Chain A
């Protein structure tokens, strides 16, 4: 059986546990034996972002030593995956031994959708995803990891209603962690600007691969009759469930 580690980002752990369970169950349903390692509760990204690399380094150390089993590390967040893959090695520039470990971990760290497509080779599995879906990339995963086509491939359905990318999908939704706290008005305006093409489109679900974007855009969208913003793990897991019990 294929084995993998699942890293649960702090936002998912503390605020969005459903996404954690959706990821876990999705992986299990796809035949992956999932191990949840005893890592610290956060990859350290918020601390690095705010100019506190020392704290980020301490957390990184904890994550690295908790997943030394050589199995892939799957992360249901584009930015946390990018943090582990790209920033961990730079955090240990002065510690060659730790850096080597960080680089080794980077090799086997995957953002969820890229794990499913690039590693498990799942592609166009023909999920019957209800409602038309649109997709928005994660800034960090898009530019740092080149994750763009994988979620689209996973979301393409057997009934021919594939996911589409919206206009200006590449522009940041305005979450940016503490950014949304420091400049709430600007952050909100960004979210509304990004939602506009979604509201004008026929799509009913806006799928993201970033828990942060999900909370931020959902809040900006508010209660909407037909439209919602969802994390890819939830969407895929539900679609699989539906297929299993028609």
Chain B
């Protein structure tokens, strides 16, 4: 992948009036809602800690959990597919679609499908993939990347959505009530639902003990996708596993508060196999595609493994001071904010994420809110270390080498500093760096002390 141009896109975002107006409110609103929702729990800190422990413990035994899940899911009649990378995952889905001779596919919101570029791929293969999540749908029609991992089109002004829906014939006149717009879109999707043969969804949690998958949503589309089409294809990363349904519920209880500030999302669906004899709804075939796509490499290194605990709640985005300034586009990939900084480099390669990895001042706000207990700053330092090793001979590498050498000396004003000072200050003035004082503290102090000692 080519390098993500964080700085350039960030500059555009800083100039974008609409985005800036929204960013002045959005993160704060999400944060306030989160805090209010969490404060209703008897022991919010303890709950966050417990959830993080559940995720960490699950990761420790991930290989076994995956095996158990496969065994139990198969026993339920679910088809399990393993995909080593994005390409394999896309081909598996393509194969499943090919068997259905239907060119229309309905899809729910799923960051993983974004990660593997599923919609674009299916489009190239002649399938029309329709996003059923309102935000994703707007992104799809407008050709926009996700602005926020939770609200992908949250930056699109309601007037623009209204004009769009008017164009598409969803509404008869301009509507600025977001709820009415949602209802209009829903009408449209409902008609599509009855025609679709295949529904594609993501997975929020997979339960090893029962072989079930859980989905969390507010619009009710996932529920439709899981009940009407004949075939359900659900994609999940290998990291989604937890041992028991209790574990899933425990972590689930913290997801909507961390995410949208809701006590609980409007819908939670659990699939433990396809439709059984005598049941009224549900797919005839349930396929779960378990995708690795770089995750086992993240898993192998104990230093990066904790990143896999992420439950995609978006809380870290809402407290990130960099995200709050530039929004999601500069992150250049499915994931944004602190979780993007941690995940994207490991998925697209460190060199491609060179600029992205600098997009953090290491303030640590993200770490404080993460229900999965992820220490983003530590992970970012680790990734920067891995990146630096690959770029030893860069200009930066040399600059740091020189600086390190200069600073390792003790108290004395060294000749090197004397020579370098004017050059550095010329540069510093240009780039807005802190300028060097004519005399360093250590020298001035040393001189003052010598004077004191003199008789």
Contact = CB atoms under 8 A, between A and B. Distances in A.
A143 B375 CA distance: 12
A178 B408 CA distance: 19
Contact of A184 (B432, B436, B441): B432
B437 A16 contact: yes
Contacts of A24: 445
A51 B390 CA distance: 11
A39 interface: yes
Contacts of A140: 362-364
B444 interface: yes
Given A15-B437, A181-B431, A183-B6, A42 B407 contact: yes
Q: Which of B7, B321, B389, B403 has the largest count of A CB atoms less than 10 A from its CB?
A: B321
Given A21-B445, A46-B403, A179-B362, 11 more contacts: A40-B408, A41-B408, A48-B381, A51-B385, A51-B387, A55-B400, A55-B401, A144-B364, A172-B361, A190-B321, A190-B322
A118 to B, nearest CB: 21
Contacts of A119: none
Interface string A210-241: 00100100010000000000000000000000
The size bracket of the interface on A is 35 or more
Given A16-B437, A51-B388, A183-B358, A171 B321 contact: yes
Contacts of A177: 361
B154 to A, nearest CB: 19
SS of B interface (majority): helix
Contacts of B385: 51-53
Contacts of A183: 6-7, 10, 322, 358-359
B126 interface: no
Contacts of A41: 406-410, 442
B84 interface: no
Nearest to A6: B445
B358 A38 contact: no
Contacts of A189: 14, 325
A51 B10 CA distance: 23
Interface residues of B, number: 55
Interface string A1-40: 0000000101111111100110010000000000010111
B23 to A, nearest CB: 9
B367 interface: yes
Contacts of A40: 407-410
Contact of A50 (B364, B367, B388, B442): B388
Given A14-B440, A140-B364, A174-B321, A52 B400 contact: yes
B361 A174 contact: yes
Given A179-B361, A183-B7, A47 B404 contact: yes
A229 to B, nearest CB: 13
